[in-house]
Amino acid sequence: MDRGYRYHADLIQRHIELVPGYAAIRDSLLPGLDIGEETLRAILGAAAEFAERRLVPVNRAGDLQGCRFQAGRVLTPDCYKQAWQELTSAGWNSVDQPTEFGGQGLPSFVNTACRELFDRACMAIGMLTGPTRAGTQLLLEFADPALQQEWIPQLVAGKWSLTICISEADAGSDVGRVRSQAVPDADGRWGVTGEKMWTSFGDNDLVERIGHLLLARTPGAPAGTAGLSLFLVPNKVRGQSGEWVGNGVSPRRIEEKLGLHGSPTCAMGFEGAKGHLLGRLHRGLPQMFVMIQSMRLMVATEGVGISFGAEQAALGYAAERRQGGNPSQPPVAINTHVDIQRQLLSMAARVEVLRGMLYELAVRIDVERQNVVVDERHARITQWLLPIAKASCPEAAFEVPSAAIQVLGGAGYTREWPCGQWLRDARMMSIAEGSTGIQALDLLHRRLWRDGGETLFAFVETATNEIGSASSEVAGPARRVIERLHRVGRRMLGWRESPREAETGAVAFLQLALLAATAWIAVRLATQVDGDRIGRRLAAAGRYWLSDIDARSAFHEQEALAGAARLAEFQQV
């Protein structure tokens, strides 16, 4: 397909090559690990072929059939088992896993690139691979060697899986109110009892064994998050004869959801289930953030993949659908109408600047993991971009399919086109792994206030330096947005003693930070000189994104600084 998954893969590769840190990683890998342009093209080409040939049909069938809860077990759609076997046997779940445990040892940004293709094709299956991969990173950091040897090879092979088991009925984002209990046993393990919810693939028929990464409170632990510890709790353990037996872990039900019908979201019960302590007592939440950071990047990746799929559906439809024009002549393609052009260009620009930001972030994370540079400023920028990407890419994943439906008209509202499913599936993403409001508070409290603005100043300096050599036509609007962010950030630093004033404008500050980050990326895209189709698309996207960014950023500046007085009427509502 001309604008199918191969084209998608080529776009991803161009973005990766534009990130300054890519060359540093490419040239510093261990002997035997090649991630040069040709190797990357081969990997992404194979991922694109697998996504289009194998996952697209599974996605539609899985959405229609959904998951079932029968006799206390979760059954996934009938078509999943064969697809899962093909995905794992081909190694797509092990791209960046350690070679000593059977993985391929490639940089994580390669996994991000493959995931973008796969999530466009079938986000539901990604809800199984994502937590397993992120959980493996957590085991590498906090599990003892024996537990690593037991679990990680099976996870890499796709025979076992992991879940994130945090939320409870009255302890979602307010995780310090977790009530699950863990009591030490004589054999050195722990007995875990409690009820958890919102657990993706908490039970399924695709793997032999499931490990739940779970936060619980131990006897005598302090209140709040300071008293939480992290455990690995398997759903099965070895019996006396070596067979698998139950471990006091039961799925209570699967949720009936707006979307993601092919991904079972489970309520889970733990009744004296035997588990293993990971890391140190009462350090559960900080340790869990190793996994949560990966999950937030994963959600951002899902957002870009789905947004691009919807934008491409609208672009293709508009080129073929004929309507309007001179009544005495044949109707014209609707992409000749200026309002359709505006809608399509708006979608394309949004997708490409977010994709550029995603790979800037993904490559930066790898630069740190590979120890290519040891630079505190570099790490600060990574942390600055993470909540921005987590908030903005999921919002695009809902809004771009909605805009695509508008272009398709009545056709877009039917099941014949995938935009409706993308919209339903994506709505979850702005909630999971921390809602947009939580990301805004994270940016304010942890990225701005915690270090007195040093993280913000590092971003401003880096972005300003990179755009400095661009022409004033593109650099001027970007520079003004970054200066506006700098100015608002300094004002908000002065509100640390009056947090309500700043928190009222936290989401607007996040939106302003997004515009500054994407303005930086847009200049990178707008200055592309390659004359091929991809180069022309990226340059057009960058220029369009910058065309009205002054007005948008001025609005968010005013909104961010409006203060808490604007909420005075809330009690009258």
Residues 6+ positions from 410 with CB-CB distance below 8 Å = none
Distance CA 430, CA 507 (A): 13
Q: How far is CA 532 from CA 10, 341, 477, 536, in A?
A: 12, 21, 26, 6
Comparing C-alpha atoms, which of 138, 221, 135, 213 is closest to residue 183? 221
Distance CA 222, CA 218 (A): 9
* Token representation of residue 382: 């990574």
The DSSP call for residue 240 is T
* Token representation of residue 502: 């700043």
Instruction: Say which residue the tokens 């004359």 belong to.
Output: 531
Comparing C-alpha atoms, which of 505, 100, 120, 23 is closest to residue 351? 120
Q: What string of DSSP letters covers 100-152?
A: GGT-----HHHHHHHHHHHHHHHHHHHHHHHHHHHHHHHHHHHS-HHHHHHHH
Distance CA 133, CA 87 (A): 14
Any idea which residues carry the catalytic annotation?
433
Strand partners, 168: 171
H/E stretch holding 5 reads: helix 5-18
CB 522 within 8 A of CB 474: yes
Q: How far is CA 408 from CA 398, 419, 541, in A?
A: 16, 9, 21
Distance CA 307, CA 541 (A): 14
Comparing C-alpha atoms, which of 486, 474, 471, 502 is closest to residue 564? 502
* Token representation of residue 402: 């909605």
Q: What is residue 69's three-state secondary structure?
A: strand
Distance CA 420, CA 96 (A): 32
CB 114 within 8 A of CB 133: no
Distance CA 316, CA 246 (A): 51
Comparing C-alpha atoms, which of 524, 534, 362 is closest to residue 10? 534
